[in-house]
Chain A
Amino acid sequence: MSAALELEELVFAWPGHAPVLDIARFRLEAGERVFLHGASGSGKSTLLALLTGIASPQAGSIRLLERPFSTLAASARDQFRADHIGYVFQQFNLLPYLDLLDNVLLPCRFSARRRQQAGDVRRTAQALLAELDLADPALHRRPVNTLSVGQQQRVALARALIGAPELLIADEPTSALDGERRQAFIDLLLRLAARHGSSVVFVSHDATLAAHFDRTVALADLNAARPEADHA
């Protein structure tokens, strides 16, 4: 089985501070869906910055899709992220000046690979939205900030998955949703990720969401460093 993500002897410190991350080893299999449990202050944000190539570690390595990632130049990491990683934020995922469809199509603007894999980008986007119960064309014309939070998060999910990126990273995507819709959203995310063949790293402080995942990892167990809260 091939790996989607491998961390090896990873050490990261913000300049002038003690290390916030010290991870000996972590591996995510291709197609695997992992729940990464991290309380605030556990180095969660820093890890996400490393996984998306915004920052690079002082020691150790990150390999994505069995290719070196953390050792690439910043611009190459950016390109890699654009091509292979879908990302969902906690909330406010959408650009208010683009309509729903254009928001979904954003990654196709920046990645030729995602554009190519999506084929007919508009139809692919519409199909994705339909799967997320957002098929109504009237919705597509509405300003995105008039959509409900749940709808916005689903649009963000469609955007993260367009062009079938190999890795989907979700950073507390359900924190703005209430209990029932939280479960529904996670079900939807996992089902779609499976259909599009994306591995999932789902980060949350809420351990009750872990039930649906293949595996649960606590960042506190993984991380040998004891980060200060202000940089987490």
Chain B
Amino acid sequence: MLELALKSLANRKLTAALAILTVALSVLLLIGVERLRSEARASFANTVAGTDLIVGARTGSVQLLLYSVFRVGNASNNIGWDSYQALRQDPRIAWTIPVSLGDSHRGFAVLGTTGDYFRHLRYGDAQPLTFAAGKPFSGVHDAVLGAEVARRLGYQPGDRLVLTHGSGEGALSEHEDQPFTVSGILASTGTPVDDTVHVSLAGLEAIHAGWESGSASLLAQSGLLAEGVSADAQPESITAFYVGLKSRSQLFAVQRTISDYADEPLLAILPGVALSELWALLRVAEQALLVVGGLVVVVGLFGMLAALLTGLNERRREMAILRATGARPRHIFTLLMGETVALVSAGILLGMGLLYLLLFACRPVLRTVYGLHIGIAAPSATEWLLLALVLAAGALSGLIPAWRAYRSALADGLTLRV
């Protein structure tokens, strides 16, 4: 019967194609929403996997997480270098990584840090950073590029680049007087590290000497200031620092110590907890999107149903011929069910195909504009479940035309309605 169903469908190409497309687009939306949701979560969780605490100026914990790790938004306040120096001495702390943000290079964030960044930062399943080429920065004007920065801008070790003061649309003034040299390129991590230009804190100090007003002073433009900056020049402040503990059992004790730090109001967050806060904030929006996706599937199925039901009247002759050649009403029922299931299955396949095509096409945009690292992976268990639900709903809706055809096959018999 399936063969007959497929041939009959092929005979109604336009209707079938439209029905398939309707289902495909609704599946695309539903699974697309789910995919973005889960990929965003996985991508964010991967990024902070190896960090126990993030310390910054007192602000909202979600905000601190977003600007210090995901380069979303800006720090409202920095933290003093001396506070950092005092806190990192704590014997319960295994390592710290200071980060200083604010500049950019052709849309990519510039992050000032120390060599500890490459030694201690972990991502994903506790993986360390590795170099695809070159080595960590050693000189003041050395830069280490994330994999995506190097790939997109075509940089090799030894190439020179100029940093831009500030970031975003308004960032216009360039630190032209002090170009940086690429010393190394990191292997891809699938985290914001890939989209970051790493320089030493001293390098950031050097290019900002004489820029206290927010733009280059004449003295700074002369290039004379750069000469005076040594490789161990210390900044006055940093944006935040990441903390790794010797033992995770000390987590809350250390967090309290930092929060109670007397000389400066500081905030220490557990990245995982801050992430859950973020997801809790977004849950309503996420669920609304999923509900909309589900409704679109329902609308899609109704569209298909309308097309199938409209077609039934014109197909009564087909049914009569089948009946005359020996088809029983249950054959007619199976034929119609087979059609619907074939349409929905084709719609699901096409929708998933479109989804992967779209993911593949939109990956760079999602990455650069939204900092989302979307993997092209096989459907997850949740997605399979959603697809199974779509198929089940489709089959269920197929009962309606199948039942109607069954009834009219019984009533019409071999009467040809020409």
Given contacts A95-B318, A97-B10, whether A110 and B325 have CB atoms under 8 Å apart is yes
Considering the complex, which residues of chain A in the window 126-151 have a beta carbon less than 8 Å from any beta carbon of chain B? none
A54 within 8 A of B: yes
Q: Are B321's CB and A95's CB within 8 A?
A: yes
Q: Are A89's CB and B416's CB within 8 A?
A: yes
A71 within 8 A of B: no
Q: Are B413's CB and A54's CB within 8 A?
A: yes
For the complex, give the distance between the alpha carbons of A107 and B416 in Å. 18
Considering the complex, which residues of chain B in the window 270-322 have a beta carbon less than 8 Å from any beta carbon of chain A? 317-318, 320-322
Q: Are A94's CB and B321's CB within 8 A?
A: yes
Given contacts A45-B415, A52-B414, A54-B414, whether A89 and B321 have CB atoms under 8 Å apart is yes
For the complex, give the distance between the alpha carbons of A11 and B328 in Å. 25
Shortest A200–chain B CB gap in Å is 16
The segment out of A73-81, A184-192, A218-226 that lies at the interface is A73-81
Shortest Cβ distance from B320 into A: residue: A89
Decide if the interface of chain B is mainly helix, strand, loop or mixed: helix
A93 within 8 A of B: yes
B234 within 8 A of A: no
Given contacts A95-B321, A97-B10, whether A49 and B413 have CB atoms under 8 Å apart is yes
Shortest Cβ distance from A51 into B: residue: B414
For the complex, give the distance between the alpha carbons of A83 and B7 in Å. 24
Q: List A contacts of B8 (CB < 8 A).
A: 95, 97
B222 within 8 A of A: no
Within the complex, which residue of A54, A97, A171 is in contact with B7, where a contact is CB–CB below 8 Å? A97
For the complex, give the distance between the alpha carbons of A4 and B330 in Å. 28
Interface size on A, residues (CB 8 A): 32
Shortest B308–chain A CB gap in Å is 16
Q: Are B414's CB and A49's CB within 8 A?
A: yes
Shortest Cβ distance from A81 into B: residue: B326
Q: Are B322's CB and A106's CB within 8 A?
A: yes
Interface string of A80-92 (1 = CB under 8 A from B): 0111000101111
Interface size on B, residues (CB 8 A): 25
Given contacts A93-B321, A95-B321, A98-B7, whether A110 and B414 have CB atoms under 8 Å apart is no
- Among B7, B325, B416, B418, chain A packs the most CB atoms within 10 A around the CB of B325
Q: Are A110's CB and B413's CB within 8 A?
A: no
A114 within 8 A of B: yes
For the complex, give the distance between the alpha carbons of A75 and B409 in Å. 13
Given contacts A96-B11, A97-B8, whether A89 and B414 have CB atoms under 8 Å apart is yes
B357 within 8 A of A: no
Shortest Cβ distance from B7 into A: residue: A97
Q: List A contacts of B326 (CB < 8 A).
A: 78, 81-83, 106-107, 109-111, 114
Q: Are A110's CB and B327's CB within 8 A?
A: yes
Q: Are B331's CB and A110's CB within 8 A?
A: yes
A7 within 8 A of B: no
For the complex, give the distance between the alpha carbons of A111 and B324 in Å. 12
Q: Are B324's CB and A52's CB within 8 A?
A: yes
B329 within 8 A of A: yes
For the complex, give the distance between the alpha carbons of A82 and B323 in Å. 9
Question: What are 6 A-B pairs with beta-carbon distances under 8 A?
Answer: A78-B326, A87-B414, A95-B8, A95-B321, A106-B321, A171-B414
Taking Cβ atoms with an 8 Å cutoff, the residues of B that contact A are 4, 7-8, 10-11, 317-318, 320-331, 410, 413-416, 418
Known contacts A49-B413, A110-B327; can you find 10 more A-B pairs with CB under 8 A? A49-B415, A54-B414, A81-B326, A87-B324, A87-B414, A89-B414, A90-B416, A92-B416, A92-B418, A110-B328
